[in-house]
Amino acid sequence: MPRLSTELLVIGGGATGLGIAWDACLRGFKVVLIEQSDLGQGTSGRYHGLLHSGARYAITGPSLAHECAQENAILRRIASPAIEDTGGYFLATPADPLHYPDRWLEACKQAGLQAEEVGVAELLRREPRLSPRISRAFRVHDASLDSFDLLHMLSGSILEAGGQVLLHHRLVGFIRHGGALVAAEIEDLRSASVLRIAFDLAINAGGPWAGQIANLAGIHLPLALGKGTMVAMASRPVHSVLNRCRPPSDGDIIVPIGSVAVLGTTDIPVSHPRDMQIQDQEVDALLSEAEMLLPGSTHARILRAWAGIRPLLAPSADEDAPETRNIGRAHAIIDHEAQNGPSGIISVIGGKLTTFRLMAQECLDVVCMRLGRSVECSTATTPLEQADRRFFALPMRHRQLAHRERGDIASDLICECEFVPREDIRRTLAADSPQTLDDLRRDLRIGMGPCQAGFCAFRTAEIMAQVLPQPSQDLAAFLHERWKGLRPVAWGDTLEQMELTRRLYAELLGFSQPPGRFS
């Protein structure tokens, strides 16, 4: 069995785990991070894109609000390529509690958050698609953040600093020595081989899987999982992030990001990290809330719906299925040794994507204490790497394509919705080890535009067949995966697109019959 040894083993490659590994690198620790899937496959990649100003939590959690505001300012400095400074508004409609805005504004002031009332007429000049029935508007410091970009930047920075990021590696179990965890057995899911990693400390940053990871260490760690569903509109009808100015509820936000706008979110308690099935009612609720701010949303073209799982620390073990929205989004760093658990493991639970850096900082403070080191955190002042930025935003692709020679551009575009040229696919296949179309999707946005893989999946599968030694069998699997996010929004143009894709692959290209039927 291959062996590795490291000071810190970080389990989980979401924003939390990557943030921790990055902080650890900067503080001079030797770090290995394992992720059971791909970057962006879990909760961080299923994020709505809102970099909170903190104003959302002004009433319910003033300290979280304050943290969000601080981290918002820091991330704009260290991760600016992933962030678009859209600005944001809190908007009250006649359907919302009349006195809430004043109370909320006062709470913002108390928490030191900037929130400035603007006239509805001025709002409508800047955002002409908004409903004229909006009664009050407040400008806040929201922004939109592309989490795929952020994850790639973190991962690139870690690699650059000498850390290791092992994707598609799953924790099988821990090895103990006395009361201490000293090593972990890790399965490489692609080669099905097992390796052993010895560590001084393991950090459980598994997000919704943190309970299962703790379990392998013999620790009971009750989590409250909340499913949040989001819908992406195939257009970007607003410039700014929009928040409802009312007590937190379903369908509070509209986030313009890249070429789309995301409607979020719902919150439904679930029992397993894989419970991500979307109910029609969730989508309908998001659309009818969006309609209050942005009339016509229900008739707009929808790209897709998806869900992510929020991992929150359960308040106490004897309450079943608590309403997760009210648990609070605050995070916790649990040093299990201090709680009479095994030594050698720390769990990081809860939190928000906006505050991932702060969580990492607090976690590393505990790590330093445990390992007897004293190094200051420097993530707040060190910009992240953006050298190997494979995950491009659409405007950047436009600029890139504009520099190519005419006549060469068009025929080389494999994904025409997201402007992915043949060359990028070939380069990504050569540089990394993506083996499925879904891996390429997360790297390059293949299949994420309006046609949802209808045309590009076939073309990309051919390039994979040219490059990879093994014939790829996953075209049908990829189409299934894309179909999943279309089903909850199957009406209008989206349904037309779905039927087109079915027709192309089943009737025209012949990919639906069981193999060997005519042999």
| Residues 475, 476, 478: CA angle, nearest 5 degrees | 65
Q: Which is nearer to other proteins, 305 or 367 (CB)?
A: 305
Q: Which is nearer to other proteins, 299 or 398 (CB)?
A: 299
d(CA 357, CA 153): 13
List phi, psi (to 5°) of 158: -60, -45
Size of interface with other proteins, in residues (CB under 8 A): 53
C-beta of 511: minimal distance to other proteins in Å? 5
Q: Are 272 and 216 a contacting pair, CB within 8 Å?
A: no
d(CA 327, CA 146): 26
479 counts as binding other proteins under rule CB under 8 A: yes
Show the tokens assigned to 238: 């607003």
d(CA 273, CA 215): 14
> At which residue do the structure tokens 């299934």 appear?
480
The 10 Å CB-count burial string (b at 16+, else e) for 302-337 is bbbbbbbbbbbbbeeeeeeeeebbebbbbbebbbbb
Q: Which is nearer to other proteins, 11 or 260 (CB)?
A: 260
279 counts as binding other proteins under rule CB under 8 A: yes
C-beta of 229: minimal distance to other proteins in Å? 13
125 counts as binding other proteins under rule CB under 8 A: no
Q: Are 90 and 244 a contacting pair, CB within 8 Å?
A: yes
> At which residue do the structure tokens 């909760």 appear?
43
285 counts as binding other proteins under rule CB under 8 A: no
Among 192, 220, 407, 430, binds other proteins (CB under 8 A): 407
- Which of these segments, 71-79, 360-368, 393-401, 411-419, binds other proteins (CB under 8 A)? 411-419
Among 389, 390, 426, 487, binds other proteins (CB under 8 A): 487
307 counts as binding other proteins under rule CB under 8 A: no
C-beta of 505: minimal distance to other proteins in Å? 7
372 counts as binding other proteins under rule CB under 8 A: no
Q: Give 230's strand partners.
A: 306
C-beta of 459: minimal distance to other proteins in Å? 5
199 counts as binding other proteins under rule CB under 8 A: no
338 counts as binding other proteins under rule CB under 8 A: no
495 counts as binding other proteins under rule CB under 8 A: yes
Q: Which is nearer to other proteins, 101 or 434 (CB)?
A: 434
Q: 161: Cβ–Cβ under 8 A, 6 or more apart, which residues? A: 22, 25, 26
Q: Which is nearer to other proteins, 106 or 280 (CB)?
A: 280
d(CA 129, CA 89): 14
Q: Which is nearer to other proteins, 339 or 411 (CB)?
A: 411
516 counts as binding other proteins under rule CB under 8 A: yes
d(CA 456, CA 467): 16
503 counts as binding other proteins under rule CB under 8 A: yes
C-beta of 499: minimal distance to other proteins in Å? 4
306 counts as binding other proteins under rule CB under 8 A: no
Q: Which is nearer to other proteins, 73 or 465 (CB)?
A: 465
Among 414, 420, 429, 448, binds other proteins (CB under 8 A): 414
d(CA 516, CA 519): 5
- Which of these segments, 86-94, 130-138, 360-368, 499-507, binds other proteins (CB under 8 A)? 499-507
Residues numbered 11-50 forming contacts with other proteins, rule: CB under 8 A: none
d(CA 64, CA 66): 5
C-beta of 449: minimal distance to other proteins in Å? 16
Nearest to 50 by CA among 236, 240, 288: 240
Q: Which is nearer to other proteins, 243 or 472 (CB)?
A: 472
280 counts as binding other proteins under rule CB under 8 A: yes
C-beta of 422: minimal distance to other proteins in Å? 8
Cβ-defined contacts of 388-391 (< 8 Å, 24+): 388/152, 388/156, 389/81, 389/149, 389/152, 389/153, 389/156, 390/152, 390/424, 390/428, 390/443, 390/444, 391/146, 391/148, 391/149, 391/152, 391/443, 391/444, 391/445
Q: Which is nearer to other proteins, 186 or 498 (CB)?
A: 498
160 counts as binding other proteins under rule CB under 8 A: no
Show the tokens assigned to 323: 């309403």
506 counts as binding other proteins under rule CB under 8 A: yes
Q: Are 34 and 55 a contacting pair, CB within 8 Å?
A: no
- Which of these segments, 56-64, 362-370, 398-406, 508-516, binds other proteins (CB under 8 A)? 508-516
- Alpha-carbon dihedral sign for residues 410, 411, 417, 420: negative
Q: 249: Cβ–Cβ under 8 A, 6 or more apart, which residues? A: none
Cα dist from 230 to 266, 273, 286, 312, 495, whole Å: 7, 16, 8, 19, 18
List phi, psi (to 5°) of 61: -155, 80
513 counts as binding other proteins under rule CB under 8 A: yes
Q: Give the contact letters, 442-471, x = binds to other proteins (CB under 8 A), - = no.
A: -------------x--xx-xx--xx----x
C-beta of 270: minimal distance to other proteins in Å? 17
Q: Which residues bind other proteins (CB under 8 A)?
A: 279-280, 284, 287, 298-299, 407, 410-412, 414, 422, 455, 458-459, 461-462, 465-466, 471, 476, 479-480, 483-484, 487-488, 490-492, 495-496, 498-513, 515-519
